[in-house]
């Protein structure tokens, strides 16, 4: 994805290191996904009726 304004010249893959805010967001997303997986494993998901 782009870093800064959309459609600009700097892409994420071109950066020398991962920005701290991006690292934090990735860590939080992974933590939330692991937590949700544990909840679903323990309690299951009943789905939506209707």
The pLDDT tens digits of the residues spanning 1-50 come to: 555 666 677 777 888 998 898 899 999 999 999 999 999 999 988 887 76
Residue 2 placed within a domain: no
What number of residues does the chain have?
Answer: 50
Terminus-to-terminus CA distance in the chain, angstroms? 38
Q: Which two tokens stand for residue 33?
A: 């996904």
pLDDT of residue 45: 82
The count of domains in the chain is 1
Residue 50 placed within a domain: no
Tell me, letter by letter, the H, E, C secondary structure of 1-50. Answer: CECCCCCCCCEHHHCCCCCHHHHHHHHHHHHHHHHHHHHHHHHCCCCCCC
pLDDT of residue 12: 76
pLDDT of residue 3: 59
pLDDT of residue 20: 93
Residue 12 placed within a domain: no
pLDDT of residue 17: 92
29 is in which domain, residue-wise? 17-43
Residue 21 placed within a domain: yes
């Amino acid at each position: 994805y782009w870093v800064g304004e959309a459609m600009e010249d700097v892409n994420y893959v071109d950066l020398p290191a991962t920005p701290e805010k991006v690292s934090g967001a990735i860590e939080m997303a992974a933590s939330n996904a692991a937590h949700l997986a544990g909840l679903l494993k323990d309690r299951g998901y009943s789905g939506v009726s209707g």
